[in-house]
């Protein structure tokens, strides 16, 4: 299912970073995950210069220590992430308290200009059981929009950090129709994940072209459509799909990264971009090998210099 390499394209000027997710890091602490020291060492060795923080508590949360650890590896923090229920919650105080912790760290890094906000999943990650309604009625949708506005205002009042919204598989903003409704209802820019977009039935290339002014941040991820179809047929949980390779390296999936390179060149994209490949648990040695191959592939097709 590999795609043509594509030659002769003008190299993009965007930076491409990585994230702990590409090392199988889904939780702050888990025996199936590698140490944060190994993760950072391999990010550097693979050739990356920028990264997202990943789940809160995985990397050091003391800003001085984190700055030292990143600096000695020539790594630069560009964003933090918060994934939480933003629909069926009436008291936002717990989220505000989490944001306070994140912002207190992030404000020490002038390079970290974004906070990636993701809605909680409506299915259980490991069983696939429905834990919330898939479709929102108008009242529920409006409550979600209201909560997002409150979170955006909260962060804006405390910092210059910009919240970007990340549509995510099996959340209440996943399909193109839902994303476009979000864009109509609230003034917020996107972190578009190419793999999740394809997973949810969308076309990342045409969507990026259509909404270029609202996309400030990219997660570069691939998705294998045949495995996605197996997931639907067998009602696999998201984690089971990941373990079966539904999110895969860019040369074995169905996101057309050669065309994406042309699209980003055409719209003169200048935002941040981060490679992600969902892996949990990650096979020993696989993350480093894949991370390095992915970066080399993106250089080969002209996505980066």
106-136 pLDDT per residue, tens: 999 999 999 999 999 999 999 999 999 999 9
Average pLDDT, the chain: 95
How confident is the model at residue 167, as a pLDDT?
98
In a domain, 184, yes or no: yes
How confident is the model at residue 76, as a pLDDT?
98
In a domain, 5, yes or no: no
The mean pLDDT value for 50-58 works out to: 98
pLDDT > 70: percent of the chain:
96
> Cβ neighbours of residue 79 under 8 Å, at least 6 residues apart?
52, 53, 112, 113, 114, 115, 116, 217, 272, 274
How confident is the model at residue 12, as a pLDDT?
56
Q: Give the model confidence (pLDDT) of 178-190 as tens digits.
A: 999 999 999 999 9
Whether 194 has a pLDDT exceeding 90, the answer reads yes
The mean pLDDT value for 31-41 works out to: 98
* Triad 215, 67, 270: Cα angle to 5°: 20
In a domain, 3, yes or no: no
In a domain, 132, yes or no: yes
3-state secondary structure of 247: strand
The mean pLDDT value for 261-288 works out to: 96
In a domain, 39, yes or no: yes
Whether 2 has a pLDDT exceeding 50, the answer reads no
The length of the chain, given as a count of residues: 305
How confident is the model at residue 1, as a pLDDT?
39
How confident is the model at residue 25, as a pLDDT?
98
DSSP H helical segments within 188-224, as ranges? 194-199, 204-210
Torsion, Cα of 231, 237, 239, 240 (10° steps): -50
Q: Which domain holds residue 251?
A: 16-300
Whether 7 has a pLDDT exceeding 90, the answer reads no
Query: How many distinct structural domains can be found in the chain?
Result: 1
Whether 67 has a pLDDT exceeding 70, the answer reads yes
Q: What is the CATH number of the domain that holds 126?
A: 3.20.20.150
The mean pLDDT value for 68-75 works out to: 98
Q: Give the model confidence (pLDDT) of 94-112 as tens digits.
A: 999 999 999 999 999 999 9
How confident is the model at residue 305, as a pLDDT?
76
In a domain, 305, yes or no: no
In a domain, 11, yes or no: no
CA distance 101 to 35: 22
The mean pLDDT value for 170-185 works out to: 98
The mean pLDDT value for 34-58 works out to: 98
CA distance 193 to 175: 12
The mean pLDDT value for 145-153 works out to: 98
The mean pLDDT value for 221-228 works out to: 98
3-state secondary structure of 302: coil
In a domain, 4, yes or no: no
- Residue 192 phi/psi, 5° resolution? -90, 125
The mean pLDDT value for 152-174 works out to: 98
Whether 9 has a pLDDT exceeding 60, the answer reads no
């Amino acid at each position: 299912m590999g795609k043509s390499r594509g030659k002769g394209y003008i190299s993009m000027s965007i930076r491409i970073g990585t994230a702990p997710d590409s090392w199988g890091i889904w939780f702050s602490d888990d025996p199936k995950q590698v140490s944060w020291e190994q993760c950072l060492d391999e990010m550097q060795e693979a050739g990356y210069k920028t990264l997202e923080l990943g789940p809160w508590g995985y990397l050091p949360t003391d800003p001085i220590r984190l700055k030292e650890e990143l600096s000695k590896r020539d790594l630069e923090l560009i964003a933090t992430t918060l994934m939480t229920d933003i629909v069926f919650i009436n008291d936002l105080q717990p989220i505000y308290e989490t944001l306070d912790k994140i912002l207190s760290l992030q404000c020490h890094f002038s390079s970290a200009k974004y906070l990636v906000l993701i809605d909680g999943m409506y299915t259980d990650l490991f069983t696939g059981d429905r834990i919330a309604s898939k479709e929102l009625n108008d009242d529920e949708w409006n409550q979600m929009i209201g909560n997002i506005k409150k979170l955006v205002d909260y962060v804006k009042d405390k910092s210059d950090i910009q919240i970007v919204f990340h549509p995510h598989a099996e959340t209440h903003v996943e399909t193109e129709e839902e994303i476009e409704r979000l864009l109509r209802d609230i003034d917020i820019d996107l972190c578009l994940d190419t793999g999740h977009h394809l997973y949810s039935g969308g076309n990342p290339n045409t969507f990026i072209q259509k909404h270029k002014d609202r996309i400030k941040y990219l997660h570069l991820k691939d998705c294998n459509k045949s495995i996605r179809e197996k997931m639907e047929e067998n009602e696999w949980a998201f984690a089971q799909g990941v373990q079966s390779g539904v999110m895969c390296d860019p040369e074995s999936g169905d996101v057309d990264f050669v065309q994406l390179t042309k699209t980003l060149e055409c719209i003169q994209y200048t935002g941040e971009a981060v490679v992600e490949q969902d892996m949990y648990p990650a096979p020993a040695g696989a993350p480093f090998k894949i991370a390095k191959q992915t970066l080399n592939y993106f250089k080969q097709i002209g996505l980066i210099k």
